[in-house]
Amino acid sequence: MDYDSDSFKAVWKDGLLRIQAFKLKDNSFGLMEIILNAAIEQDHFKLAWDLRNLERLSFRELWSVISFATRMQPTLDRFVTRTSILVTPKYEKTLKFIMKYAGPSCPCYVGTDVKEAKRFVT
């Protein structure tokens, strides 16, 4: 379930799926869903998102992200045991607010500290 492209990189190791996002493409969500479903087939797992290098999203792209997350969340809530999300300082407060009200049911770290994010999911 490892994957590497100019859109995103996914690495699976020891029950942890790490996804580093760079930019959205037309096939990004389809590929990401395949990778997430492959992780789900392994049973419970931890999920680490690195969004620090993600290109700025247009409103349409942001809507696509929200739609994808809304569709996947019920399934992920059943299988993901911990989540960490690395962001740039510019978006930290906004994403923390969003995650507080619409985030996953599992414990979740949102922030800028790489060491803390890694510790949280290992």
Q: 12: domain CATH number?
A: 3.30.750.24
Q: In total, how many domains does the chain have?
A: 1
> Measured between alpha carbons, how far is residue 58 from residues 8, 13, 65, 95 in Å?
17, 32, 11, 16
The per-residue pLDDT for 72 is 95
- Write out the residue range of the structural domain in which residue 79 sits: 3-121
Cβ within 8 Å of residue 27, ≥6 positions away? 7
Beta strand 16-21 with 108-111 is unpaired
Q: What is the pLDDT of residue 1?
A: 74
Integer Cα distance of 97 and 88 in angstroms: 15
Q: Which residues, given as ranges, of the chain have pLDDT below 50?
A: none
- What does pTM read for this prediction? 0.93
